[in-house]
Structure 1
Amino acid sequence: MSGSIIREKPAHLTPTRPNSVTNVIKSDKNLISVDKHKDIQQLKEKVTGILNIISRDHMKVVFFGRTSNGKSTVMNAMLRERILPAGMGHTTNCFLQIEGTDKVDAHVLVPRSDEPKSIVSLKDLGNALSHEKLDSDSLVKILYPKEKCRLLRDDVILVDSPGIDVSVNLDHWIEDHCLDADVFVLVVSAEATITVAEKKFLHNVAQHLSNPNIFILMNRWDAIMNEQENVDSVRQQHLERGMEFLCDELQLYDRKVVADHRVFFVSAREAVLYRAPDPGNSPKTGFAEGYKERLTEFAKFEEEFEKCISKSAVKTKFEQHTNRGKEIINLLRDTMGNIANKSQSLKQECVQKRTEQSEKHDFIEKELKSIMETTKDRIRHVSEDVYKRVAQTLNDEIKRLYTLIEEFDRPFSSDPEQIPLYKRDLHKWVEERLGSNLQARLHSALHSSLDSVHKEIKERVKFVVNNERKSMLDTITPRSDFAVSYRLDCLNLCSDFKEDIKFKFSLGLSSLWQRFVQNQHQQSTLTMTEGNNSTLSQNTSDSLISTSTLLNSTNDILTTANTITSLTSKSSLLLIGGCALIWRGVGWKVLGVVGGLYGSLYLYERLMWTKKAQERKFKRQYADYASSRMKLIVDMTSGNASAQVQQELSMYFAQTIRYVDMEKDDICDYLKQLKQEIDQLLLYNDKAKVLKKQADWIDQQLNQFSKQYLSEPATSINSSV
């Protein structure tokens, strides 16, 4: 056997664990399918297992099968020593690994202990019948002197396993103790057949590893001697089932190879008896008829086994892994090429999308600016229009204020205690009626303007948002309860109003004096505004002359009256003096007539000074005062209404325009996402190209290794060594 071939393997076989092969690009739904990614991950695990195998400088053989099929007995026969515990029923309880040592004495190492134990303790540690047995997944190492066993001299490690039907942790066993094996020996009882559990074990090995080297031993073939007439039929049946499994299911070999080199019919018990007999037994004891043929078959198995692990050790250890490596490389190379092409195509699509989204973003920015400017102008125009409408309507209502006040119907009393209550109710009446009149005259026009602006804003915003947000915009409705408030606050506005409803004779000196002062004031006012002082003075003089005619038509009486009125109406002394002058000038008769007429007029006006007359005078005074005061707040009321409309439109615009901002934000986020995708695709593309080049290089190395070490000439050279 030439274990030196393995120990002196060339540099091509040194595992480098390249990340370019094992660290496959992460699965991406656009670049690689989920199933393909799973396949690559499984290949990655297989590569890891292969690297573990080729990283060691020894050959590892695992013996497995069902409980009590004779695995330990087969190993004892091959070692020509009764090293492992063997017997009826379930004997081997855990994994027993036999490897060579240069020491003289054999010893045992158990898990979690560095202290060597005697080989004698193996009967208890690895025996299922012992009370000191270990767990089924434990590994006990048996270091046996190389000089006592030919197999162990060439760095061959033999592993005995508990029955595969002992525990359900089959995958765990394979990962811990079997993945790095070079050869698997399936020991089957010839009295039964290959079971589903044994097939499952090898299927799991094949999934975790590249195609394994497998031998099948039909043990206990000596039991067939009881049925001599069925020997050939049973043998052919076992052989067919073995070929179906290895050739058809696992697809490892062709049928001739299996029939000649992979399936053997043996009796391990007879081989042990023959090679390592008990001192007290005769060498001929315990052998059934035809034992020599069975011993020859066992020797043939050993010969094929030794060829597998020695003469063609390099091929045994590396050929199938190399071939599998080529398959993996070809698959990865094709995958990387597809990923590179796919990523390039997806990158171009993303670049096109980014260009389109950038143009859309610029368009929305431009439209947003236009919408804001247009809407701002539209709101300002509507606000100004509202200001003008309210001002004009309010002025019209102020002109009709006397008529409005005349409609106020409440019992009037000149009692000083009742006047404030009457004024309070009148304030409230005027405020409510004016407000309702303004509301009635302006409501339709204002809401029509608002609806028009609302519609314009919504249509402009809909033009730049997507369909989903268009439907969301339809859910935004203007406030149904919005109405412009026209609060005039007459109570405070007319709080300074002072009524004057005392009786005053129209031809009394105080009344005449008051009219004269008012006329003079009006004349000065008209002179400043119209420049027509002379005409207005003449009209005033005419009015005064017509009034004085009732007293006397002479110039003396007019002069005397004007003189008297120019003094004071409150001085009785002047009044007496005036009467004396008139009597002296016109006589007592004329004076009597004038006095009678004057008294009659006084009496008439006094009798006509009723509550109704007092109420009319009060309302006329209030109307004059309220009109003058309300004219002062026309601008303020109009401005307030305009501000309310402007605020309502601005709020609606803010509600709708935020969807444009959301659209912009979505596009910005999408642009960032596209940028990341493009960068990632560029990374994928570059990485895929690098991996494809590395795959080409690895494929060249594998071909070179196959040509140098696995071709027939190389094998012949190795065999000669």
Structure 2
Amino acid sequence: QITMSGSIIREKPASFGSIRQNNATNGGNSPLKLFTHAKITITDIFKNISSYVNDSNIYMTDVIKSNRNLITTDKYKDIQQLKEKVNRILSVISRDHMKVVFFGRTSNGKSTVMNAMLRERILPVGMGHTTNCFLQIEGTDRIEASILIPGSDEPKSVNNLSSISNALSNEKVDSDSLVKILWPKEKCRLIRDDVVLVDSPGIDVSANLDQWIEKYCLDADVFVLVVSAEATITVAEKKFLHNVAQRLSNPNIFILMNRWDATANEPEMVESVKQQHLERGLEFLCDELHLCDRKEATENRMFFISAREALLNRNTDPTTSPRSGYNEGYKERLVEFSKFEHEFEKCISKTAVQTKFEQHTNRGKEIITLLCETIVNMINKSQTIKQECQEKLIEMEEKNIFLEHELRSMTDSAKERIRHVSEDVYKRVAQTLNDEIKRLYTLIEEFDRPFTSERNQIPLYKQDLHRWVEERLGSNLQNRLHTALHNSLDTVHKEIKERVKTVLTTNERRSDVDSIVPRSNFTISYRLDCSNLCSDFHEDIQFKFSLGLTSLWERFMQNEKQPKYTSSSFLNSSNDLLTTANNLAELTSTSSFLALGASALIWRTVGWKMLGIVAGIYGSFYLYEKLMWTKAAQERAFKRQYADYASSKMKLIVDLTSGNASAQVQQELSMYFAQTVRYVAIEKDDIIDNIQDLKIEIHQLKSYIDKGKKIQKQGDKINNELNQFTKQYLITD
């Protein structure tokens, strides 16, 4: 029977249908090879199991560290202990052997039978009670034979065996002691094929039969009862075997009727005596112990032999002739002994395989089943979790795309809304500031700080006026724009908040957005900075006669342009007087030189009298203007000059101030939008992190599944090998 290619199961040794007719030492076709092959095969299988358990432990250790609950801690601990169990089984298998125990009454020839099977005089033999203790013969790789006595691990020479085990020796050990004989494997085929033979003291010299069985017989594969053909099976021998049968299920028992060569002296009684022994043996084996049927017992369980002749035959040179020491019919007895050996080898090999390896095989199957079930369960859990992760990954990716789109749309909408509000603020501030500039003359008139024309006091007066104008303008702008601007800001704040909340998925983050409160103290800063703006203003409050030559010359040089400043107290006395003076100045400015020429002509025409009258009138005008140029007139002139100058400068910064206010509103709204939309970005980042974690999780689970399937295939292969081993070695044909 040949197994599939690649299997570690070896070819089962062929059965032996013919009885060996020679005593050749070549054991190439020995039935004992069945045990040897089975032992090698089961050892290789358990080495594979050990590797499988080790791979499984590494795999499960990696899984247990991931904290994915694919395997329970208790199950993991159980799996971790399997390696030690497999190593113990391998250790037991390496020590497993086939064991046969020889027993019987004293001087029935047990030691002689063993010597004949070993083909050498190893055990001491003699008349009377010779073997005093248990002698176990097992193989050793050493060249020299040795013995181990109880209580010592130091090998001793085999020459000491007679003095230690012989009942007649003074150095003998106790009857229930075991002396091990380590015999070189190369000297004996039986020992080389892992057969251990145990010789026992006569069962009629000790009452400790139960103790013998417990200590030395429970692991035996075969029991050989050696009976003297000159007597019969005794009650003590039957009792011993009954005790064995109670402790072991269906023990394999052979009965050897030794010293059958004694029948040569009474040839006429041979058949009747043989029939008598056979009937009693069959009655005991079949009717009392129920171990086999009568045909099996007759053909394969009871043998009539002469151990002495068999040993003599195997220790004598086969080329030597004639032979001495044999009785008539010895050839038939030698054939019978060979038949016994053959049936014994078949039985012990088959039984040892069953008793030694069936339990290991079942334990190996249990280990494989436990690991396979655990790994399959882990694979199934991994696949379930992987499927859930893949579904969640799809959901997260869709959500990420949605958030990306919403974030982009929200940002664009917010920018557009903020731009619209900023432009509206720009227009409102520009319009309001222009209105306030038009009212600047009235505003300055309200400045009531006492005025002085002293040169060192004028700068202080201007500083206070700068500050007052800046504060009043800023206050007026705040009062006129504050409510409308804050209403616009509140509306935009609510729009941004509600839009962001519609995107967020968790109530916690919605609450966080609700907790964001716009700055309640936000106000637009209208920094007009009049001090710097009007720093180049230079007042002109010196008295200047409006009809003086200097004034007339200035008007002429201005080409009829209205003067920027006027210092005439007459023109400033009232609005009507100012208008009249301006008209008069326009008339006189265009004909000033003509007037001089006319005066000269008049003087030549009318004389000194008329000239005096004109001079009196001119002097009256001068005196009037001089008297009207008071401190109040100087203050009015100063404020008028300042109002004209400040108005022209402020018109230049209307765009700048409006843009600054618009920028402040834009910054405020942008900052609020950034604060709220940050939670959308956080949620998006969380989703991206979850996507990455899910991808890593899926990759790791896929790795667990692939590794688990690989290990599962390894377990299936080993399980097939165990099944093949069971079919080839353990199932009885």
TM over 0.5: yes
User: In structure 2, what is the equivalent of residue 419 of structure 1?
Assistant: 458
Q: Deviations over 1:56-93 (max 9, x none)?
A: 364599xxxxxxxxxxxxxxx97659xxxxxxxxxxxx
Counterpart among 528, 534, 546 of residue 494 in structure 1: 534
Q: Secondary structure at 1:334's aligned position in 2?
A: helix
Larger radius of gyration: 2
User: In structure 2, what is the equivalent of residue 505 of structure 1?
Assistant: 545
Normalised to the residue count of structure 2, the TM-score between the two structures is: 0.56
Counterpart among 391, 396, 407 of residue 368 in structure 1: 407
Amino acid at match of 2:397: S
Counterpart among 476, 488, 497 of residue 449 in structure 1: 488
Distance 1:660 1:375 in 2: 14
Deviation at 1:400, TM superposition (A): 1.6
Distance 1:377 1:360 in 2: 25
Counterpart among 679, 684, 687 of residue 664 in structure 1: 684
Deviation at 1:653, TM superposition (A): 3.0
Pairing 1:140-539 to 2, within 5 Å after superposition? 145-146=182-183, 260-261=247-248, 312-467=351-506, 468-508=508-548, 510-511=550-551, 520-521=560-561
Q: Deviations over 1:622-673 (max 9, x none)?
A: 1111111111111112222222222333333333333333322222222222
Distance 2:531 2:675 in 1: 38
Deviation at 1:683, TM superposition (A): 3.7
Amino acid at match of 2:48: R
Q: Does structure 2 retain, via aligned residues, the 8 Å contact 1:107–1:144?
A: yes
Larger mean CA deviation between 475-484 and 499-508 belongs to: 475-484
Q: Is 2:617 aligned against 1:630?
A: no
Q: Does structure 2 retain, via aligned residues, the 8 Å contact 1:105–1:145?
A: yes
Q: Deviations over 1:381-436 (max 9, x none)?
A: 22222222221122122112122222222222211222122222222222222223
Counterpart among 565, 575, 596 of residue 592 in structure 2: 565
Deviation at 1:517, TM superposition (A): 6.3
Structure-2 change in CA distance of 1:258 and 1:145 (3 Å): closer
Deviation at 1:579, TM superposition (A): 3.6
User: In structure 1, what is the equivalent of residue 128 of structure 2?
Assistant: none
Amino acid at match of 1:632: L
Distance 2:604 2:487 in 1: 78
Q: Is 2:698 aligned against 1:711?
A: no
Deviation at 1:48, TM superposition (A): 4.3
Distance 1:481 1:651 in 2: 15
Q: Deviations over 1:597-642 (max 9, x none)?
A: 5444433332222111111111111111111111111111222222
Q: Secondary structure at 2:536's aligned position in 1?
A: coil
Distance 1:517 1:661 in 2: 70
Q: Secondary structure at 2:560's aligned position in 1?
A: helix
Distance 1:341 1:543 in 2: 110
Counterpart among 23, 43, 46 of residue 55 in structure 2: 23
Counterpart among 682, 696, 701 of residue 681 in structure 1: 701
Normalised to the residue count of structure 1, the TM-score between the two structures is: 0.57
Deviation at 1:469, TM superposition (A): 3.1
Q: Secondary structure at 2:540's aligned position in 1?
A: coil
Distance 1:257 1:644 in 2: 107
- Unmatched 5+ residue regions in structure 2? 1-29, 100-131, 158-178, 197-210, 212-216, 220-242, 250-345, 564-578
Distance 1:453 1:545 in 2: 55
Distance 1:639 1:435 in 2: 15
Q: Does structure 2 retain, via aligned residues, the 8 Å contact 1:22–1:48?
A: no
Q: Does structure 1 retain, via aligned residues, the 8 Å contact 2:376–2:712?
A: yes
Structure-2 change in CA distance of 1:154 and 1:547 (3 Å): closer
Amino acid at match of 1:23: D
Q: Secondary structure at 1:9's aligned position in 2?
A: helix
- Unmatched 5+ residue regions in structure 1? 62-76, 82-97, 109-115, 121-141, 158-189, 191-212, 216-255, 263-306, 524-541, 550-557, 568-573, 714-721
Structure-2 change in CA distance of 1:447 and 1:585 (3 Å): farther
Q: Does structure 2 retain, via aligned residues, the 8 Å contact 1:107–1:119?
A: yes
Distance 1:602 1:42 in 2: 128
User: In structure 2, what is the equivalent of residue 40 of structure 1?
Assistant: 79
Q: Secondary structure at 2:503's aligned position in 1?
A: coil
Deviation at 1:472, TM superposition (A): 3.3
Q: Secondary structure at 2:690's aligned position in 1?
A: helix
Distance 1:355 1:389 in 2: 50
Structure-2 change in CA distance of 1:606 and 1:5 (3 Å): same
Structure-2 change in CA distance of 1:376 and 1:257 (3 Å): farther
Q: Does structure 1 retain, via aligned residues, the 8 Å contact 2:38–2:729?
A: no
Q: Does structure 2 retain, via aligned residues, the 8 Å contact 1:458–1:473?
A: yes
Structure-2 change in CA distance of 1:546 and 1:488 (3 Å): closer
Distance 2:589 2:721 in 1: 140
Structure-2 change in CA distance of 1:598 and 1:334 (3 Å): same
Amino acid at match of 1:17: N
Pairing 1:522-671 to 2, within 5 Å after superposition? 547=584, 564-566=591-593, 578-582=598-602, 595-671=615-691
Q: Is 2:142 aligned against 1:102?
A: yes
Q: Secondary structure at 1:146's aligned position in 2?
A: strand
Structure-2 change in CA distance of 1:41 and 1:358 (3 Å): same
Structure-2 change in CA distance of 1:442 and 1:21 (3 Å): same
Q: Does structure 2 retain, via aligned residues, the 8 Å contact 1:31–1:343?
A: yes
Deviation at 1:501, TM superposition (A): 0.7
Q: Does structure 1 retain, via aligned residues, the 8 Å contact 2:36–2:194?
A: no
Q: Deviations over 1:503-537 (max 9, x none)?
A: 233454554565676683369xxxxxxxxxxxxxx
Larger mean CA deviation between 331-340 and 3-12 belongs to: 3-12
Distance 2:98 2:663 in 1: 94
Structure-2 change in CA distance of 1:651 and 1:59 (3 Å): farther
Q: Secondary structure at 1:625's aligned position in 2?
A: helix
Structure-2 change in CA distance of 1:355 and 1:392 (3 Å): same
Deviation at 1:5, TM superposition (A): 5.7
Q: Secondary structure at 1:421's aligned position in 2?
A: helix
Q: Does structure 1 retain, via aligned residues, the 8 Å contact 2:55–2:711?
A: no
Deviation at 1:102, TM superposition (A): 3.0
Q: Does structure 2 retain, via aligned residues, the 8 Å contact 1:486–1:641?
A: yes
Structure-2 change in CA distance of 1:78 and 1:706 (3 Å): farther
Structure-2 change in CA distance of 1:505 and 1:704 (3 Å): same
Distance 2:582 2:691 in 1: 94
Deviation at 1:50, TM superposition (A): 2.9
Distance 2:358 2:582 in 1: 146
Q: Secondary structure at 1:520's aligned position in 2?
A: coil
Q: Does structure 1 retain, via aligned residues, the 8 Å contact 2:437–2:650?
A: yes
Distance 1:502 1:60 in 2: 143
Figure out how many residues of one structure are paired with residues of the other and give that number. Answer: 486
Q: Secondary structure at 1:17's aligned position in 2?
A: helix
Distance 2:387 2:470 in 1: 72
Q: Tell me the percent identity.
A: 60
Deviation at 1:377, TM superposition (A): 1.3
